[in-house]
Structures are given as C-alpha cells and as structure tokens.
Amino acid sequence: MSLTGAVYDRGYRPYDGARGARGAATLALYKASMRRALGLRRSWRQKIAPFVLLGVVTIPAIVNVGIGYVTRDQLIDRIELITYRDYVGVSSALLLFVALVAPDVICPDRRQHVLPLMFARPLSGPDYVLAKVGAVATILFLFSFLPQVVLFLGNMLVSDGAFTYVREHLDIVWKVPVAVAILAVFYAVIGVALASLTDRRIVAGAAIIGLFLVTSIASGILTENASGGSYGALLNVLALPLYLRDVVFLGHVDPVEPLGGVAHGGLLAAAVYVAIVAAGAGVLLWRYRWVER
Amino acid sequence: MSPDRLSGDVDAGPLLRLDRLTKRYPGVTALDDLTVEVPRGRIGLVGANGAGKTTTFRLLLGLAHPTEGSVEVCGIDVAADPIGVRTRLGYMPEHDCLPLDQTAADVVATFGELSGLPARAARQRASDILDLVGLDEARFRPIGGFSTGMRQRTKLAQALVGDPELVLLDEPTAGLDPLGREEMLALVARLGTFGISVLMATHLLDDVQQVCDHVLMIDGGRLVVFGATDSLLERTGRITIDVGVAGAQLVERLRAVPLAAALVEGLVEVDVDGDHHLDVVRDVIAELGLPLHRLTTRLTSLDEVFLDRASVRP
C-alpha cells in the first residue's frame, strides 16, 4: 500500500464579511466582561464564587416557597418569611459579589497592560466604561432578580390559585425589576469606579467593602439618637438605593428607616443617588481619558 | 478585504502621510516636524530608544493628538476619524499585554469581535490565524503557560485577526532566541503576500534589512532618512577588491590617485563616487598587472546608514 497525501499551508484568508463599528466593539467587550465575571470559558475555580453566591442569595426564596408548600393545606395564615420589597435588599452575599465582580472585570486590563490592545480597536474611553459598567450592572441585576423570580414563581405555584396570585401581585412585575435595576446600577458604578483606581483586585475589593461599611457605620452614628429622621442617613452609601426601593414599592421612604421622618426624603435620596452615580461615572471617564489625550 | 487589496490597487494613495507632524510633551519633544509619505509595503521604523517610535504609533492609532501637523493612515485623517482608522489597523505592542488566565483562542477571538467581526467569524478567524502563526496545537492552553516566543505569536495573531490593512509591530522580535527571531521575521515577511502592509518599529536594523522594503529612520523625533531599503544600501559607494597578496600595493597606488582606499582583512576597500572612479580602479589594476580575483560592491549595513545620516542631520 502506498501512502499518498499532501500537507497544505492554508495561508491567510482575508475577511470580506460584515463588520461592525463602535457599537459592535462595545457589545463584544460587554459580553466578554460578562463571561469573565461569571467564570465562563475559564477554569472551574473561577466559576465557584459567582455561582455559590448566587445560590446563597436564592436560599431565602427557596425556604420561603418550601414553607408555603408545607403549610399549604393547614388552616393558618400564610407564613411569609420574606417580602418582595425586603428581598430587594443588601445582603452580605451581594456585597461580596460586588467586591468580587467589579475588580475582576476591570483591574486585570490595567494590571496586564491589555488596555492598549483594547483601544487599538474601534473603541473609545466612554465605550469601554459603558461596556464594563453595563456588564457589572447586568450581572448584579441578574444576581438580585433571579431569586425574585424563584420567589414569585414558587409563591404562585403554592398559592390557592396561580392566576389569582398573579392578578393580585401584578405590581410586583414592574416594581421588582425597577428597584433591582436602581440597586444594580448604583453598586455597579461605585464598584467599577473604585476598582478603576487600582490595578490590584484585592485592594479594589477591600476598598469597595470598606466604603460601604465606613459610610454605613458613620451614618449609623449620626442617626442613632435622631428622632424624626436625620439627613445623616443620606451618608449611608450602602442603604441609599434602598430608600429609592421604598419609594418604588411604597411611594415614600419607609417611616421606620432613618430617612423616614425627613421632609422630601425620597427626593433627597434620589438627588444623592444621581450625584453619586454621576461622580462615579466622572471618575471612570477621567481614568480612561488618556486614550483621547 | 477585496482582492484589489492583494494587488495593491485598492488605494493609489500612500499608506501614511505625515505632514509637519509634531508632538510635544511637557519638557520633551517626542516628534519634531516630521514630514514623509510612506507607500504600502513592509516599512521599518528605525530609531534608538526614545527616538519617537512609540509616539508615532500612538499618533497613528489616534491615541494621542499631534501638537502640530497632521497624519493620514490609508487616506484617512486620524484626527477627523480615529475610530475609522483603527478599524483598518492591527497593533502588536512591545510589552506584555495579554490576559494570562485565558486561552489563546479565547483572547484572539475576543479581539476579533472587538475589531467588529461577528462572534462566529471571530472564532473561525482566531482558529485560522493561530494556525498561521504556528499555535494551532496550543490554542486552548492558558497564555500564562506560554513561552516568550508563543506569547509574541499570540500578540501577532490578535493584531491580524481583524484582517487589517496595516499592522503596527512594535519590536516584534524582542526577547526571542535566534530561532524564534527568524521564525517571527519569516511571518512578518509573509504578511506582504497577504496584502497587509507592515510598519515595524525596531532598533534592530538587521531585522529591517531582512524583511522591510522601505526604511523610515528617526532620531530624537526628527526624520533622518526615508527610502527603499535597497537604495539606501546601494548608496554607500564602497567596493571590495580581492587581488591576492598584492593588496597593499594596490592601496598605495590608489591613494596616490587619490582615492580613499584601505586594506581590511586582506581585501582592498575603496570609496567610489560614480562610474569614473570604477574606471580608474580598473585602469590601476591593469597598469600594475595584478590578478583581479573579485570586485564587488560592498553594501554598508543600515547601522552605518543610520549612524552616518544621524550624525550629519542638522
């Protein structure tokens, strides 16, 4: 038998298909950042933290639904361990998630000198910022929204009538995503902005947690003995979006909150929210201004 | 890319047009009144460290704005449309710039998408280009485990994945062993046949001499010389003569003419300026009755051209 064959040098094949511009590049960076944050296309170690934390934040919903299922035939009032409004909240898992994800999507680009490669593409500084903040905000949204979906579907299925439950809770369908979006954008901007100030993930993560804890403690001290609410509550970066969550769910800030007794507390919270998001965006645009200099 | 690009007909204009290009930073002038038109092909951008090579790249990419003057790449004014320019360029930096915890296939595909390619096309091209640069076997391994040569190839692959018209290579052979250097230069030399122009910044003139058809030399931010590599080498005007053991006799006679002659390692080297000097050399050898074993034009190296031109530059 004779062996015949040839080794082919496939050479270079030019690309003559469709080609996107800035929008396509921004979307590509957004998707790549999402994959990175979730550990996709990376080793299994990188997948542990995000998915374990997602599991942790979903546990209350599962427990709540489980209790509803167990007690569905008993003649007792419905036991609700957690409400939709409470569930749009700040947990240790969420804090850890922000401190984990935001530095991971932005610090390595600077530390490993990847930025020159990025900006040699049809991509501007603001495009880069938009893609990174968008990726983190999306992940935080999913992180907070998916447990709500589990809670809603579970409650619906264990209720006496699924259609009745949905009809009675139609407002939840828009209130939850709006409140979660407010939370996600806020923490994403703060997290990414802080992370952009260093190229070390551990430092960025510590700075993010530190900011939340320090402002929370400082605000707590200022509002501790104040009766009828205190402006000091606005210093609490950690809780600020929760006041807006209350506005979404209740139409006003919850009176039991430190900002509850302050006149126009909701408006003030919104103003501070916008100011902080604008400041964070300003920091990010400043950090990546060199590309246009 | 259309077939026209391969034949060089896509744009009759120059690849680069620098017009009085000046870039000043506080306390230093990185580029000073640089005016030159560069044709398509493989161009060597030569200069010592700090000569302005990296600044030139930043200006071409639209990552920095000129203090004065203008720059056009592939007929596009960089100041007017930096994004448009970047869609036509590939860039391979000198320093480490790759995410070490990702695979080569993933990184190159991602940069393909960032160049505007659809995801599927980017993945396919990443596979093809990594094959082209010799990383087909290693493309699913994390870059952190790559050797210097493999990382350089990955850097080249990400520069090519977007199918650029011009690729900017910043010291592509830096840190490579002799074999890796030869392989990298062979890859760079092949790019011309793919219809991709190359601007290769280096301080290694041997690299330029080996693969570039034009040379742009800058020193202290100013233009030293620009021209076809062959023409620069031919312009040296020194011939080497082998007349056996009578070299000293020939040198003495040529100096009496007078011509600048010297005995170098048994061979006679003579500076000539035109054919009439060659006639004189021929006549002297005939007059002395010496055996002429060999007479060749000695091409000076680009190093000598650079040193010579840089020293006389005002």
Question: What is the tens place of the pLDDT at every residue in A202-259?
Answer: 999 999 999 999 999 999 998 887 777 788 889 999 999 999 999 999 998 888 888 8
Say if residue A9's pLDDT is above 90: no
The model's pTM: 0.83
Query: Is B307 within the bounds of a domain?
Result: no
CATH, residue B153: 3.40.50.300
Q: What is the CATH number of the domain that holds B256?
A: 3.30.70.100
- Contact call for B93 and A25, based on CB within 8 A: no
Q: Searching chain B, which residue's CA lies closest to the CA of residue A105? A: B99
Same domain assignment for residues B224 and B279: no
> Are B251 and B172 part of one and the same domain?
no
What is the band of B99 on the pLDDT scale with cuts at 50, 70, 90?
Answer: very high
Are both B143 and B279 inside the same structural domain? Answer: no
Q: Which two tokens stand for residue A213?
A: 């804890």
Per-residue pLDDT, averaged over B176-203, amounts to 91
Which strands, in side-by-side order, build the sheet including B16-25?
A: B28-38, B16-25, B68-73, B76-77
The 10s digit of each residue's pLDDT in A56-75 is: 888 888 888 888 888 777 76
Read off the pLDDT band of B8 (50, 70, 90).
very low
Answer whether residue B305 is part of any domain: no
Would the CB atoms of A42 and B117 count as touching at under 8 Å?
Answer: no
Contacts of B216 (CB under 8 A, 6+ apart): B36, B38, B43, B44, B45, B46, B223, B226
Chain B: nearest CA to A113, how far in angstroms? 5
The reply to whether B152 falls in a domain is: yes
Residue B103 contacts A where some CB pair is shorter than 8 Å: yes
Residue B37 placed within a domain: yes
Note whether B242 and B215 are same-domain residues. no
Question: What is the pLDDT, as a whole number, of residue B299?
Answer: 63
Quote ipTM for the complex: 0.86
Assess whether B36 and B136 both reside in one domain: yes
> What residue in B sits closest to A33 (Cα-Cα)?
B110
Nearest to B91 among A20, A113, A117 (CB): A117
**Which residues in chain A have Cβ-Cβ distances shorter than 8 Å to B103?**
41
- Cα→Cα distances B249→B255, B263, B276, Å: 10, 10, 21
In Å, how far is A41's CA from the nearest CA of chain B?
8
Closest CA–CA distance from residue B64 to any residue of chain A (Å): 5
Question: Which chain B residues touch A29 with a CB distance below 8 Å?
Answer: 114
Q: Is B189 on the interface with A (CB under 8 A)?
A: no
Indicate the residue of A20, A28, A42 with minimum beta-carbon distance to B101.
A42
User: Is pLDDT larger for residue A264 or for residue A75?
Assistant: A264
Q: Give the residue from A289, A124, A225, A122 showing the smallest Cα distance to B88.
A: A122
CA distance A70 to chain B (A): 46
What's the pLDDT score for residue B214? 93
Q: For the segment B139-183, what is each residue's pLDDT rounded down to a tens digit?
A: 999 999 999 999 999 999 999 999 999 999 999 998 888 888 999
Q: Judge if B137 and B285 occupy the same domain.
A: no
Residue B130 lies in a domain: yes
Q: For residues B91 and B203, state if they share a domain.
A: yes
Q: Is residue B181 part of a domain?
A: yes
Task: Determine the pLDDT at residue A6.
Answer: 53
Closest-approach residue (CA) in chain A for B106: A41
Instruction: Kindly determine whether residue B1 and residue A18, on different chains, have CB atoms separated by under 8 Å.
Output: no
Q: Please check whether residue B114 touches A, CB under 8 A.
A: yes
Nearest-CA distance from A6 to chain B in Å?
17
The lowest-confidence range among A240-244, B41-45, B224-228, B298-302 is B298-302
State pLDDT tens for residues A176-185. 999 999 999 9
Cα–Cα distance, B54 to B58 (Å, whole number): 6
pLDDT in the model for residue A245: 93
pLDDT at A107: 95
Q: What does the pLDDT read at residue A186?
A: 96
Q: How far A291 CA sits from the closest chain B CA (Å)? A: 5
The answer, for A17 touching chain B at a CB cutoff of 8 Å, is: yes
Count Cβ atoms below 10 Å from residue B50 Cβ, excluding itself: 13
Residue of B nearest to A113 (CA): B97
Q: For B254-277, what is the mean pLDDT?
A: 86
pLDDT score for A1:
46
Does one domain contain both B77 and B107? yes
Q: Do A14 and B195 count as a contact with CB atoms less than 8 A apart?
A: yes
Please check whether residue B273 touches A, CB under 8 A. Answer: no
Closest residue of B to A114, CA-based?
Answer: B97
- pLDDT at residue B184, rounded to an integer: 93
Highest-pLDDT range among A37-41, A270-274, B5-9, B258-262: A270-274
Q: Is A269 on the interface with B (CB under 8 A)?
A: no
Whether the CB of B99 is below 8 Å from some CB of chain A: the reply is yes
Are residues B12 and B97 both part of a single domain?
Answer: yes
Query: Do B19 and B164 share a domain, yes or no?
Result: yes
Among the residue ranges A67-81, A113-127, B119-133, the one predicted with the least confidence is A67-81
pLDDT, mean of residues A132-140: 96
- With CB atoms and an 8 Å threshold, state whether B63 touches A29: no
Q: What is the pLDDT of residue B147?
A: 93
Is any Cβ of chain A less than 8 angstroms from the Cβ of B90? yes
Q: Does A32 contact B at CB distance below 8 Å?
A: yes
Using the beta-carbon criterion (under 8 Å), do A10 and B6 form an inter-chain contact?
no
B97, A112: Cβ pair inside 8 Å? yes
The total number of structural domains that make up chain B: 2
| Domain-located, residue B69 | yes
Q: Which domain holds residue B174?
A: 3-229
Nearest to B86 among A12, A18, A121 (CB): A121
Residue in B99, B110, B163 nearest the CB of A28 = B110
Cis preceding-peptide flag for B258 (omega within 30 of 0): yes
Average pLDDT of chain A is 88
Q: What is the mean pLDDT of residues B198-215?
A: 89
Contacts of A135-138 spanning 24+ positions with Cβ under 8 A: A135/A29, A135/A30, A135/A31, A135/A33, A135/A34, A135/A37, A135/A105, A136/A33, A136/A37, A136/A98, A136/A101, A136/A102, A136/A105, A136/A188, A136/A191, A136/A192, A137/A181, A137/A184, A137/A185, A137/A188, A137/A189, A138/A30, A138/A34, A138/A184
Q: What is the dihedral of CA B159, B2, B87, B13, to 10 degrees?
A: 100
Whole-number mean pLDDT of chain B? 87
Instruction: Note the pLDDT of residue A256.
Output: 82
Task: Taking residues B270-291, report their average pLDDT.
Answer: 88
Q: Based on the domain organization, do B57 and B98 belong to the same domain?
A: yes
Residue A117 has phi, psi (to 5 degrees) of -70, -40
User: Are A61 and A87 within 8 A, CB to CB?
Assistant: yes
- Please tell me whether residues B213 and B124 are part of one structural domain: yes
Residue A188 has pLDDT above 50, yes or no: yes
- Counted across chains A and B, CB pairs separated by less than 8 A come out at 125
* B229: contact with A, CB 8 A cutoff: no
Give the nearest chain A residue to B65 (CA atoms).
A293
- Encoding tokens for residue B38? 């560069």
pLDDT at B66: 92
